[in-house]
Amino acid sequence: MSSRPLPPPARHPYGGSAALGVAAALLSGLGLVAIGLWIARGIGEAATQPLRAGGGVLLWLACSALALHWLRSLPEGVLQWDGEAWLLERSAVSERFVPLREAPEVALDLQGALLLRVRPVSGPAQWLWLQARSAPAQWAALRRALHARPPMATVPGTGAGPPVDARTQTTPPAHAAGPNERHPR
């Protein structure tokens, strides 16, 4: 069985950005405009309009506050792929280098920006925001590492058996045979 090489090492900074803040502010503003149009058009019986309008504005305020909290709580640091494993190098934290349980999960890929979900070995899952302009020279290498399929190996210690993901040491899920593949008998 031939093994594919792992992608080369890559490092890229992560954290909030002004562009992300502007996007959140624009979405919040659009939400407020939508509520204003809803109120101006009429929102039910005259007796309940003030209550509904107040509820809509409170909902908008709550959503905007949650978005602001999320933006301010985005962690900052450097995401590293060392050629074998993923690691977070965090800023202003006592535990500076934190390995990840598994490869980062790409939640949103905008080509020039990525929203990743990572699961550190210790602690809860985190969201990371990365932008190409933070380190343009490393962007292509990072994307290759994130989108690369891990090489497959045999079951550790046996030299035989079903394929095992070399990074996670787990067997991938079985897939159904395609139209040109034979079903096992």
Beta bridge partners of 128: 116
pLDDT digits (tens, 9 = 90+) for 122-178: 889 999 999 999 999 999 999 999 988 665 444 444 444 444 455 555 554 544 444
pLDDT digits (tens, 9 = 90+) for 33-84: 998 888 888 776 777 788 888 898 999 999 999 999 988 888 889 999 988 8
49-72 and 18-41 are packed helices; what angle lies between their axes, rounded to 10 degrees? 180
Minimal CA–CA distance to 78: which of 144, 9, 147?
Answer: 9
